[in-house]
Amino acid sequence: MSDFRTLQKNSRKECDGAKVSVCIMGDVATQFLAQAVKGYGYECNLNLNITDIDYNQIDMQTMDADSELYESKSDYVLIYMSAEKLYEKFCHTDISLRDKFAEMQVEYIKEVHNRINSNVNSKILQFNFIEINDGVFGSYSNKVPVSFVFQIKKLNYLLNEYTVTAKNVFIIDLSSLAVKYGYDFILNEKYFYSAKMALSIEILPHVAKSVIDVIKAVSGSIKKCVILDLDNTLWGGVIGDDGLGGIQIGELGAGHAFSDFQAYFLELKKRGIILAVCSKNNEDTAKEPFNSHPEMVLKLSDIAVFVANWEDKASNIKYIKETLNLGYDSFVFIDDNPFERNLVKSVLPDVTVPDMPEDPALYLSYIRSLNLFETASYSSEDISRTEQYQAEIGRKSLEASYSNIDDYLQSLEMQAEAKAFDEFHYSRIAQLTQRSNQFNLRTIRYTEADIEKISKDDNYLTIYFTLKDKFGDHGLISVVIMKKVDNETLFIDTWLMSCRVLKRGMEEFIVNKMIDIAKKNGYKTVQGEYIKTPKNAMVEKIYSKLGFHDNGDNSYTADVNAFINNKTLIKEI
């Protein structure tokens, strides 16, 4: 999040976004708050016209029909009554009246709102109160109705109760910000005593975000759908490789973090947010945990659109968007993989794509902190929204909607290495042959000792591949073992690849390299074979797609000298 200085600079810039007018008044000084709100608005492409009223003018401004407040006819009136000033009032209240202090204050707030409502047609944004403990009774104050702590908590409650029916009043939840950041962070005493400011420079951007989030929601800009990745996002591990028993979900260890993350999305679904799935998987594999894993919190019935295939995610999100008939700006896309996130950001810039922390333990608190799901209404219809959408969608099948992603791939500056097996990589290579299930043509498992033997045997040509791009290094991601059949013919004994790097030109690069190496070693023909397993359907036709002749019976041949290289944007290093 930008700091206050940045927001202050923003506040002086021209903004060509939607115009919104806000009148700010408080019983403390609000100049910095006004700058922060305007500057944060700039970052959300809102062109804010702010009328900042001098401090402590709330009564005068609301009672005078010709006041700046009413002259401004602002879309929003932001009212900041501070806990600090409230405490001064409390101290001046006779002890015999203190048990009714909260009722008196909420009546006062209602009166201020009524004055505004009878003069202008503005929406009212009201800060609630930071529940400070004044240190007079300590924790015992919670048992004493005449204490400040007791009354300020009651006031926040009464304020909520009042706004349930006050349709044009929206609470800005300063109290929750205080729970998150703490009062020591919020109040700078020197600002307060020298300039009557109750918000520190450090908290101002967060307060400004709360205000702008509410303004955006009230003006209709809300998130309606969350698109979820599966592997390492909703559960730990890769279902296609680790299997039902191997993924992490449930009460045990890291699984707990994923369960809580799922529970959060289930809560969102219950309040009307649509959930969709977008996963690089076979559909059957992807659905298996939803159908059969006892610890899954989300069920298939919670998901309005379920897309699992091997197309790029931007195309799949486009499909989800068209199916639900929502704007891109109402989507949030959650994925642990930076490559997928950057692809979606680059192809579909209106989709909100949070940069997830690497540690799954932090997923939930990070997403919560973004406050992506601010809303300005809630009704009983929201509860059944998913079912409504599911009924509409029916069994509409996926028509792939390809988007041109070459420009994006080009911008990644991908570089690959292709090398014969060496002793430093035996263990990684053996591990890949044991773990890879999906992109694995023959699924032959090898131990480290096997790999060492093969790499020293003249009857074999071995290649491992690494890939890196400008965002980082994927490491060793593919293994090829070619076996000499006779002086003219090589047979591809093993070809496997990590699914993380699928569909970005790596498959093409690898096949080109196989043919190139065969040619350099004097071979004329390369033979490939596909052995079907329950998990490797995705590579069934890969040889013929990449230029081999289909001989039938899952056998394929390439003529080394006539082979036309596949197009790829990956450079060899």
201 sits near other proteins (criterion: CB under 8 A): yes
Among 26, 32, 421, 547, interactor with other proteins by CB under 8 A: 32
CB of 54 to other proteins, least distance (A): 13
CB of 7 to other proteins, least distance (A): 12
Among 143, 190, 470, 549, interactor with other proteins by CB under 8 A: 190
Query: Would you say 21 and 74 are in contact if contact means Cβ atoms under 8 Å apart?
Result: yes
- Tokens representing 231? 């592997």
Nearer to other proteins among residue 31 and residue 384 (C-beta)? 31
By CB under 8 A, the residues from 366 to 425 that bind other proteins are none
Nearer to other proteins among residue 181 and residue 191 (C-beta)? 191
CB of 31 to other proteins, least distance (A): 6
CB of 197 to other proteins, least distance (A): 7
- Tokens representing 287? 């659905």
Q: What are phi and psi of 310, to 5 degrees?
A: -115, 15
Nearer to other proteins among residue 33 and residue 441 (C-beta)? 33
Query: Would you say 364 and 234 are in contact if contact means Cβ atoms under 8 Å apart?
Result: no
The Cβ of residue 290 has, within 10 Å, a number of other Cβ atoms equal to: 18
CB of 33 to other proteins, least distance (A): 12
CB of 261 to other proteins, least distance (A): 35
> Left, alpha or beta for 243 (phi > 0: left; psi -120 to 50: alpha)?
left
Q: Which stretch binds other proteins (CB under 8 A): 183-191, 391-399, 504-512, 535-543?
A: 183-191
In b/e form, how buried is each residue of 170-184, taking b as 16+ CB within 10 angstroms?
bbbbbbebbeeeeee
278 sits near other proteins (criterion: CB under 8 A): no
Among 1, 31, 59, 267, interactor with other proteins by CB under 8 A: 31
Q: What are phi and psi of 472, to 5 degrees?
A: 155, 180
Nearer to other proteins among residue 196 and residue 545 (C-beta)? 196
54 sits near other proteins (criterion: CB under 8 A): no
30 sits near other proteins (criterion: CB under 8 A): no
193 sits near other proteins (criterion: CB under 8 A): yes
188 sits near other proteins (criterion: CB under 8 A): yes
Q: What are phi and psi of 527, to 5 degrees?
A: -110, 140
191 sits near other proteins (criterion: CB under 8 A): yes
Nearer to other proteins among residue 197 and residue 257 (C-beta)? 197
Q: Which stretch binds other proteins (CB under 8 A): 185-193, 301-309, 362-370, 404-412?
A: 185-193
N residues, the chain: 573
185 sits near other proteins (criterion: CB under 8 A): no
Token pair 């608005």: residue: 41
Nearer to other proteins among residue 188 and residue 386 (C-beta)? 188
In b/e form, how buried is each residue of 478-517, taking b as 16+ CB within 10 angstroms?
bbbbbbbeeeebbebbbbbbbbbbbbbbbbbbbbbbbbeb
Could you tell me the CA-to-CA distances from 277 to 52, 269, 421, 435, 570 in Å, in that order?
Answer: 45, 13, 38, 25, 29
Task: Report the distance separating Cα 419 and Cα 236, nearest Å.
Answer: 31
Nearer to other proteins among residue 190 and residue 470 (C-beta)? 190
189 sits near other proteins (criterion: CB under 8 A): yes
Query: Would you say 510 and 497 are in contact if contact means Cβ atoms under 8 Å apart?
Result: yes
Strand, coil or helix: 407: helix
Q: Which stretch binds other proteins (CB under 8 A): 158-166, 186-194, 250-258, 351-359?
A: 186-194
Strand pairing category for 489-497 and 525-529:
parallel
197 sits near other proteins (criterion: CB under 8 A): yes
Nearer to other proteins among residue 197 and residue 217 (C-beta)? 197
Q: Which stretch binds other proteins (CB under 8 A): 132-140, 187-195, 218-226, 390-398?
A: 187-195
Task: Report the distance separating Cα 336 and Cα 354, nearest Å.
Answer: 10
CB of 39 to other proteins, least distance (A): 14
Handedness of CA 206, 207, 208, 212 (dihedral sign): positive
Query: Would you say 31 and 85 are in contact if contact means Cβ atoms under 8 Å apart?
Result: no
Nearer to other proteins among residue 35 and residue 342 (C-beta)? 35
5 sits near other proteins (criterion: CB under 8 A): yes
Beta bridge partners, 480, equal 463, 495
Among 195, 376, 398, 485, interactor with other proteins by CB under 8 A: 195
Q: Which residues of the shown chain bind other proteins in the complex (CB under 8 A)?
A: 5, 9, 31-32, 188-191, 193-195, 197, 201
